[in-house]
Amino acid sequence: MRSFWVYGALCVAIQGLSGCGSNPVAENKTEVRETAKVAQYDQLVVAFGDSLYAGYRLSPNEGLAPQLQAALQADGVNARVHNAGVSGDTTAAGKTRLAFVLDNLDRKPDLVVLGLGGNDMLRGIKPAETKANMTAMMDELKRRDIPVVLTGMLAAPNLGADYVNSFNGIFPALADKYDASLYPFFLDGVVTDAALMLPDNIHPNAKGVSRVVEGLYPLVEAALKQQGDTVLEK
C-alpha cells in the first residue's frame, strides 16, 4: 500500500499535465510496417500503451518492448515484441488506433500486452469512460482471437475514495471477464525508488523498466506458451 500512496503523491504534483509523456505522436503506416517487420521470429507480441510503454526519454534498447523481448529470448522464447506505445495516449486514443495498428502488422499477433488508463486518471476522466474504452479494446482483441496480458494502473488517493475505488477496480474486472492475465500495477516496486525513476518522477528509467520486465515477462512467457500449446493441439 505504501507504493500506492507514494504514487498518489507524485500524481498530485503532475495534475496540471495533459498526461504521462510528451505530446502524443500518431503512428503512420510506414512506421508501423517498418517496425513490425522483423525476420526470424516465431511469435509476435504487441506492447500497446502510453509513454510507459513507448520508452519515454530512453534509448532505443531501453524501453519496455526491447527489454521484454530480450528477457523472453534469454529464456529461449523466440518472440518479437513490437512497440505500439504512444506518449500521451488516453484509453479513448488507444481505442481509436488499436484496429489500425493490428491491421498494419505483417501478421496476426500471438499476444497483446495492453496498458492504458494513466492519462485518463491524470486528466480526471470518469472511470466509467475509461472502463468503456478498455472494454471496447478487449472486445476488439477477443473478436480477433488475440490473447491479452493486462497491466493495471492505480488512481491517486487525492482523487477521492469513490474515484479511486471505481478506477482501481477496472483492470481486475476486465482480466476476470476476458480471462486475461493481469499485472496489477505497472510501476509496482519502481515508483517508490528514485533510483529507478527519471528526474520527472513519473516515468521509469532503464533500470526501472528492467524491474517492470522482471515482474511482467513471466506472465507474457506463460501466455505465449499457452498460445503455442493451443496451436499444436489444433
CB atoms within 10 A of CB 131: 20
Tell me which long-range contacts 30-33 makes (C-beta under 8 A, separation of at least 24). 32/84, 32/100, 32/101, 32/104, 32/105, 33/104, 33/106
User: Looking at domain 2-233, does it have CATH number 3.40.50.1110?
Assistant: yes
Please give the DSSP secondary-structure letter assigned to residue 191: T
Ordered by start, the domain boundaries in the chain are: 2-233
pLDDT at 15: 43
pLDDT at 228: 75
Q: What residues of the chain score a pLDDT lower than 70?
A: 1-39, 230-234
54: Cα within 13 Å, side-chain hemisphere: 21
Please give the DSSP secondary-structure letter assigned to residue 194: G
Q: What is the pTM of this model?
A: 0.86
Which sign, positive or negative, has the C-alpha torsion 133, 135, 140, 145?
positive
pLDDT at 41: 95
Q: Give tens-digit pLDDT for 141-188.
A: 999 999 999 999 999 999 999 999 999 999 999 999 999 999 999 999
pLDDT at 230: 63
User: What residues are labeled active site?
Assistant: 51, 200, 203
pLDDT at 232: 53
